[in-house]
């Protein structure tokens, strides 16, 4: 039953325009086919639904389906959904922001840093609905800037991410660790220690971040002062 509902939902999402055309034709058929003009009183129903379908096609696209793919770890399926968005600039702004942010994640995984950076900026320009996700975007921009060797730009993005706010302590710890790393590269050892201690204070639970803290602790311990 769940499978049937999912398939029905997919069918509706992928065929909104065709359904809208069918409903408009049905409305005209009702309007002209019934006597005494009573058909036009019924025709407004399919007309109204058709209008909603048309708006949903362009303002929402297939993005309403993508959460299920992301949660189940079906990245290939999620990418196929993204590829079906033909006019991203017509998407409703919060939906457009999510579209570009997810695209940026895939570009980052593919090591296409220039494309990922461009998509993250488009996401921010579209207006991120929730502040912590805006912070996440700046955290990603900071990480990209570090990989590109742009330490000043990285520091600006990472500090902005912390100021705006991040979704959890693991992300906060990541931001502080990266700021500490940038400070080390700039030979600002005092602030490197300050931000490293802030990272530890977050008490992250992600094993990878915990290991990063352990490794950096060895380096921090050798810094004089």
pLDDT at 180: 94
| 3 confidence band (pLDDT: 50, 70, 90) | low
pLDDT at 36: 61
pTM of the entire structure?
A: 0.82
* pLDDT tens per residue across span 153-184: 999 999 999 999 998 999 999 999 999 999 99
| CATH number, domain 130-225, options 3.40.50.360, 1.25.40.10, 3.40.30.10, 1.10.579.10 | 1.25.40.10
What is the C-alpha to C-alpha distance for residues 105 and 123, in angstroms, rounded to an integer? Answer: 12
pLDDT over 90, % of the chain? 60
pLDDT at 37: 60
| 225 confidence band (pLDDT: 50, 70, 90) | low
pLDDT at 223: 79
Q: Is the pLDDT confidence value at 2 over 60?
A: no
* pLDDT tens per residue across span 115-137: 999 999 999 998 877 777 899 99
């Amino acid at each position: 039953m769940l499978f049937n509902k999912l398939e029905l939902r997919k069918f509706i999402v992928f065929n909104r325009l065709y359904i809208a055309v069918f409903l408009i034709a049905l409305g005209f058929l009702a309007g002209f086919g019934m006597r005494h003009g009573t058909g036009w009183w019924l025709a407004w129903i399919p007309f109204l639904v058709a209008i909603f379908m048309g708006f949903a096609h362009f303002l929402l696209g297939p993005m309403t389906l993508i959460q299920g793919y992301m949660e189940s770890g079906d990245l290939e399926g999620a990418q196929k959904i993204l590829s079906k968005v033909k006019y991203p600039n017509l998407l409703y702004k919060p939906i457009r922001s999510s579209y570009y942010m997810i695209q940026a994640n895939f570009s980052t995984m593919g090591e296409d840093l220039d494309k990922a950076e461009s998509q993250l900026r488009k996401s921010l320009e579209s207006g991120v609905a929730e502040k912590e996700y805006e912070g996440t975007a700046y955290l990603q921009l900071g990480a990209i800037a570090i990989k590109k060797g742009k330490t000043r730009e990285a520091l600006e993005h990472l500090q902005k991410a912390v100021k705006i706010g991040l979704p959890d302590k693991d992300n906060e710890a990541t931001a502080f660790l990266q700021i500490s790393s940038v400070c080390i590269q700039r030979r600002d050892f005092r602030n490197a220690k300050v931000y490293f201690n802030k990272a530890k204070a977050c008490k992250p639970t992600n094993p990878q971040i915990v290991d990063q803290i352990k490794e950096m602790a060895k380096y921090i311990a050798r810094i004089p002062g």
